[in-house]
Amino acid sequence: SAVISQKPSRDICQRGTSLTIQCQVDSQVTMMFWYRQQPGQSLTLIATANQGSEATYESGFVIDKFPISRPNLTFSTLTVSNMSPEDSSIYLCSVDHGTGYSYEQYFGPGTRLTVT
Amino acid sequence: AQKITQTQPGMFVQEKEAVTLDCTYDTSDQSYGLFWYKQPSSGEMIFLIYQGSYDEQNATEGRYSLNFQKARKSANLVISASQLGDSAMYFCAINTGGFKTIFGAGTRLFVKA
């Protein structure tokens, strides 16, 4: 399995500011995923990030609000821009590390964001 | 489109007893994978078990087993000999090979001493 770390683990931010979340994987992976989990809710995919190309955003998420970088095969960042209290969530980085027909996704520890 | 339904918002189980968490899914794809994840209060997502659509035997991983009934499109998680540390949210998920995993709403499990 892949070992994934995220920074910061948690943060409290003021509305209108931006926060960049880092995700580091201990092995090279093709695809990295960013999820949002709002309080008491399930996980929602924000975008898929491939190295060397633009991220692919899911419906309801836009690049201006959630810009993503993927400079190499082990690292990605997600920025939450112009934050509002509705952005208070856990943000999780994930990688696909399956083999054959198996598509396990492994998750980082998450970044718990509170916007005041 | 794929969909996961978890109808149990919360479940209680006595320590050392077995518990079944329900999951039904909907997909038109023939090839897919089903997953269960555990999320403790710390927020991390822990991969528990995987079942492929072509696997004829039910998956098992230690105290976790997946009761896969393909015709009913169900993939229930069975936890045997529950422990206090099993108290957490449990999410069922499906992936059809497009690298997009769809998660259910989750079931919160409470293990009573």
> Which chain B residue is nearest to residue A112, measuring alpha carbons?
B43
- CA–CA separation, B12 and A10 (whole Å): 30
Average pLDDT over every residue of A57-64: 95
In which band, very low, low, confident or very high, does the pLDDT at A96 lie, cut at 50, 70 and 90? Answer: confident
A8 prior amide bond cis, ω within 30: yes
If you average pLDDT over residues B51-63, what whole number do you get?
Answer: 93
Answer yes or no: is pLDDT of A100 > 60: no
pLDDT at A104: 72
Give the pLDDT confidence score for residue B31 in this predicted structure.
87
Q: For residue A14, give how far its alpha carbon lies from the nearest alpha carbon of chain B (Å).
A: 22
Q: How many C-beta atoms surround the C-beta of residue B91 within 10 A?
A: 26
pLDDT for A78 equals 97
Q: How many CB atoms lie within 10 A of CB B98?
A: 11
Judged against a pLDDT cut of 60, whether residue A60 lies above it is answered with yes
From residue A18, alpha-carbon distances to A8, A73, B58 in Å are: 13, 25, 46
**Preferred mutation among B2, B35, B44 to probe A, highest tally of A CBs within 10 A:** B44
Q: Which pLDDT value is given to residue B95?
A: 87
pLDDT surpasses 60 at B70: yes
CA-based nearest distance A107→chain B, Å:
6
Confidence band (pLDDT; 50, 70, 90) for B87?
very high
Backbone angles phi, psi at A85, to 5 degrees: -55, -25
What is the arithmetic mean of pLDDT over B82-89? 97
Residue B32 · residue B95 · CB < 8 Å: yes
| Residue A35: Cβ within 10 Å count | 25
Among A30-39, B80-89, B90-99, whose mean pLDDT is lowest?
B90-99
Residue of A5 and B95 predicted with greater confidence: A5
Partners of residue A48 on adjacent β-strands: A33, A56
pLDDT band at A99, cuts 50/70/90? low
Q: What is the pLDDT of residue A74?
A: 94
Where are the strands (E) in A38-88, listed by range? 44-50, 56-57, 68-72, 75-80
Which residues from chain B sit within 8 angstroms of residue A33, using beta carbons?
A: 99, 101
Closest listed residue to residue B8, CA positions, set B90, B79, B81 = B90
The residues, any chain, with a CB within 8 Å of residue A65's CB and separated by 6 or more, are: A80, A81, A82
pLDDT band with cut points at 50, 70 and 90 for residue A29 = confident
Of A48, A102, A109, the CB nearest to B99: A48
Q: Are strands B88-95 and B60-61 parallel, antiparallel or unpaired?
A: unpaired
Burial class (CB in 10 A: 0-12, 13-18, 19+), A44: middle
